[in-house]
Structure 1
Amino acid sequence: MNGGLSPLFLREMRMPLQESDPPPMRPLSDLVTEDEVEGECLDLCLQRGRKPSPSLLSASSCRLKITSPVTLLASIVRLLKSYSQAELWRTEMLLFEMCCLWLKELPFRRRPQPYYETSIHAIKNMRRKMEDKHVIIPDFNSLFNIQDQEEQAYFAVFDGHGGVDAAVYAANHLHVNLVHQESFNQDPIEALCKAFKVTDEGFVKKAAREHLRCGTTGVVTFLRGRTLYVAWLGDSQVILVRKGQVVELMKPHKPDREDEKLRIEALGGCVIWFGTWRVNGSLSVSRAIGDSEHKPYICGDADHDVFPLDGSEDYLILACDGFWDTVVPDEAVRVVSDHLEENSGDTTMVAHKLVASARDAGSSDNITVIVVFLRDPRCPPPTARA
């Protein structure tokens, strides 16, 4: 395994580009602001490093390149105006050289990482465009060079409507906004809710600059040590499965939810039936990032909850409404259980099976599913710790 690197990584690590080759990554818009540079840089690095490198290498290499004054950040800032192919080529060379060094010696890790095996699948389905985005950061500390905190992980699903721009923005920036909140170390759930708000405000400004009319729902799970933090807007959802049983973590924001209906009507809006319940006859969700023309009825205030973990938890399922509208939680658990039993605990295709179950049940929407395993399903379940 060569120091813990997978054979896939060793086999598929691409040779550096030649100067005549096309750029390895998309250029940034010249409308990107200074506040957005870090999130955009991290996204570019993760796109380049995610396949086939292991999560540790992806996270660590991104952070090394972001923090080094002679590497990616300086290059990307210049790219905002020039789109220099030479700069992109130089960035590619630096990544290749770093990977070559890591083939000989991996970065030192002070603590073992918790078990966060993931299975992910996303399809456009019958929609004209794919407007979902998802984020998987099992090694949050390495990505942000956090030295003095318990192990942390971040998983999110964003379901865009009216275009993909809001979902892309949230996927690129919400975790960056989270780590920069003053309350991040002491009160993660407060920081998470503020990050949603800051992300919403940032996208509203971007939408005004670029004449965008779209929004996105979102659900985020943030794990710190033995605590799970959940925050959400709209109807993307997450469930926890403990000892094979569903644990409800949240209630989606639908316009016909009584408290949401009262909030909207108190602001002067209305909830009416138009194929489904909609805010002012338009949107079928009552909270979202973006949707400037529908505020304040479509608000950007996230709901949240906190759940202590005792070691008996099996996994999380995060998914957009394209999944949950046709598959109930108990059915999702049955699909996962059957797949694991039939495949000796192999998790590789779990998300594919879940997506297929939603499509077969009649979903025509975009479908994104992330399954985050909190323990190895190939091992017997542990007894709950006190």
Structure 2
Amino acid sequence: MAWPEAARGFVGTLLRDFPRPLGPDDAPPWSPAPGRLGSLSQAEAPAELAELARTFLGSRNAPPLLAASLIHAAIHDILQTDLNEFKKQSVEGEEAGDHEKEPLLDGGPLQRCFFNKLWDVCCKWQKQPPPPPKPLHRYLQVSIHATRNTRRKMEDRHVSLPEFNQLFGLTDDVDRAYFAVFDGHGGIDAANYAAAHLHVNVAHHKDLLKNPVEALRESFQKTDEMFLAKARREKLRNGSTGVAALIVGNKLHIAWLGDSQVMLVQQGKAITLMEPHKPEREDERQRIEALGGCLIYMDCWRVNGTLAVSRAIGDPLQKPYISGCADSASFELTGAEDYVLLACDGFFDTIQPFEVVDHVLEHLMQNKGDGLKTAERLVAAAKESGSSDNITVLVVFLREPKDIMSDCLRDPRSCSADDCTGNPLLNFFSSEKNH
């Protein structure tokens, strides 16, 4: 279906279901997670509202490019509104100190106003759809699967944004796509927050266009600082590891905190792109001890006897030992790359990178080159290998899965797993890494 017809069709259906804007006593047609939008700072509002809209429009099967464009237009309109009318009468978080007493917004009325902005955009687009968005030049197919597994709660979150440009109104001719996995510990608040805010901070970073890897790395720290302010207001204590990949043109940029990981498969060979932040890593041990912290072995090495990771978003009671400063790296994409995989430690604790290649190839052969359920197969493999943790796997195919399978069948030796020790790509990454 052509763009104008698809746009008119979707917004027409939405307007039939919601024939008028919300009144002051009407509930918005979504249910934010507990504690997400009771009150929030003005800086937090765009990301939180966009996340609500992404979930809402996704539940209605909105075409992703259309949903991203709708959200961008509605966020633009809400930011033209005087948000002072949504300020709460009392200021929360006074224990944080005078310099952090910023007026907070009342989430309820703000959500209603935002939905009405979204409704207004739909009314305009029903009459005159916007120009069609520019599709990506690069081939991307995304496979995602996540499971609570045997844990009592699911504390992982993930984000897949091939429509990054449309969500943020970037109209140049450069491909951009963003993917991330967050693994919460001690609660879900930090992972929820990072999943809503990190890509927004990247998009608004002053150096996104000229230095995207620095924008990605610094946005981790900004997200950490923003969450710590929320944690002080609301007495939150949890944290989250995170790994993000930003594809910009022919470059892959990655950044990470903790032990969630990203790996690349190139011509059937697994390439390690990063080293997780674990307390026993020599540079991490030295950093923690220099700050006055210690490492204690309790089934594994833990910072001050608590956390088994040494960097994360949040964890206010363990700062500065648990650092919010991310590492980052960049890699040039030549066209020979098969796929990028992001996953939490619930996957990588039981599946080695070289095993990923075998599992993916076997899945493609069994499914005649259909890659859509690849992540589901990998999650099942991790469970079969003994993982009891939450598991999230996000696979981004950079070539047609059928072509990947065909190449391996033509030359099986090209798909053998390699020991990455001494790989020249690792030397490249170590020189690019930012500490």
Alignment TM-score, normalising by the size of structure 1? 0.89
Q: Is the 8 A contact 2:77 2:117 kept in 1?
A: no
Distance 1:149 1:265, change over 3 A: farther
Determine the structure 1 residue equivalent to 2:308. Answer: 284
Within the candidate set 63, 80, 83, 2:108 is matched to 83
How far has the Cα of 1:149 moved from its partner? 5.4
Provide the secondary structure at the position in 2 that maps to 1:153.
strand
Determine the structure 1 residue equivalent to 2:31. Answer: 26
Provide the secondary structure at the position in 1 that maps to 2:402.
coil
Say yes or no: does 1:42 pair with 2:50.
yes
Range with greater deviation from structure 2 (117-126 or 87-96): 87-96
Within the candidate set 331, 335, 344, 2:359 is matched to 335
Q: Is the 8 A contact 1:156 1:318 kept in 2?
A: yes
Identity within the alignment, %: 46
Say yes or no: does 1:266 pair with 2:274.
no
How far has the Cα of 1:139 moved from its partner? 1.6
Deviations 1:183-213 (A, max 9, x none): 2211111111111111111111110000000
Deviations 1:96-138 (A, max 9, x none): 6477568xx6732346442221011111111111111111110
Question: What is the total number of aligned residue pairs between the two structures?
Answer: 379
Distance 1:123 1:77, change over 3 A: farther
Tell me the distance in 1 between the aligned counterparts of 2:380 and 2:142.
Answer: 17
Provide the secondary structure at the position in 2 that maps to 1:146.
coil
Q: Is the 8 A contact 1:16 1:93 kept in 2?
A: no
After TM superposition, the structure 1 = structure 2 runs for residues 1-386 of structure 1, keeping only pairs within 5 Å, are 1-3=1-3, 15-17=16-18, 23-26=28-31, 29-51=37-59, 52-69=61-78, 80-81=105-106, 83-84=108-109, 87=113, 90=116, 93-94=119-120, 97=123, 107-110=131-134, 112-148=136-172, 150-379=174-403
How far has the Cα of 1:93 moved from its partner? 4.1
How far has the Cα of 1:219 moved from its partner? 0.2
CA RMSD of aligned residues (A): 3.0
Provide the secondary structure at the position in 2 that maps to 1:247.
strand
Q: Is the 8 A contact 2:49 2:114 kept in 1?
A: no
How far has the Cα of 1:245 moved from its partner? 0.6
Q: Is the 8 A contact 2:74 2:118 kept in 1?
A: no
Greater CA radius of gyration, 1 or 2? 2
Tell me the distance in 2 between the aligned counterparts of 1:32 and 1:172.
Answer: 13
How far has the Cα of 1:372 moved from its partner? 0.6
Q: Is the 8 A contact 2:71 2:118 kept in 1?
A: no
Tell me the distance in 1 between the aligned counterparts of 2:165 and 2:118.
Answer: 24
Distance 1:334 1:35, change over 3 A: same
Residue identity opposite 2:231 in structure 1: A
Distance 1:205 1:122, change over 3 A: same
- Post-superposition, which runs of at least 4 consecutive aligned residues in structure 1 deviate over 3 A? 1-6, 12-15, 17-23, 69-80, 84-102, 109-113, 379-382
Deviations 1:42-63 (A, max 9, x none): 1011111224223211211111
Residue identity opposite 1:67 in structure 2: H
Distance 1:73 1:234, change over 3 A: farther
How far has the Cα of 1:72 moved from its partner? 9.8
Q: Which runs of 5+ in 2 are unaligned?
A: 89-104, 408-435
Q: Which runs of 5+ in 1 are unaligned?
A: none
Tell me the distance in 1 between the aligned counterparts of 2:275 and 2:37.
Answer: 36
Alignment TM-score, normalising by the size of structure 2? 0.79
